[in-house]
Amino acid sequence: MSVSGLCELCTQNEIVDGCDRCGRLVCERHYDEASGLCTDCLTEVEPTGDDTRRPDGVDTYRV
């Protein structure tokens, strides 16, 4: 599928791909290749400032 047009988030840049979650077509600045999500969904899916994703014990660094 080829897409053309402008990013639905910034309406400034060319679309590179569609978000796997919301289906919005976004530019490279608003698309995260690793997850396949737009930056909008990325912030929802990946809570910031949260420790829950950290494996056990890793936060105990040797000083």
List contacts with Zn ion (CB under 5 A).
Answer: 7, 9-10, 13, 19, 21-22, 27, 29-30, 38, 41
Q: How far is the CB of 55 from Zn ion (least distance, A)?
A: 27
Q: What is the DSSP string of 41-58?
A: HHHHHS-TT--TTSPTTT
- If the CB atoms of residues 40 and 49 are measured against Zn ion, the closer one turns out to be 40
Phi-psi region of 57 (alpha: psi -120 to 50; beta: other; left: phi over 0): left
- If the CB atoms of residues 16 and 62 are measured against Zn ion, the closer one turns out to be 16
Q: How far is the CB of 62 from Zn ion (least distance, A)?
A: 40
Token pair in block for residue 53: 């994703």
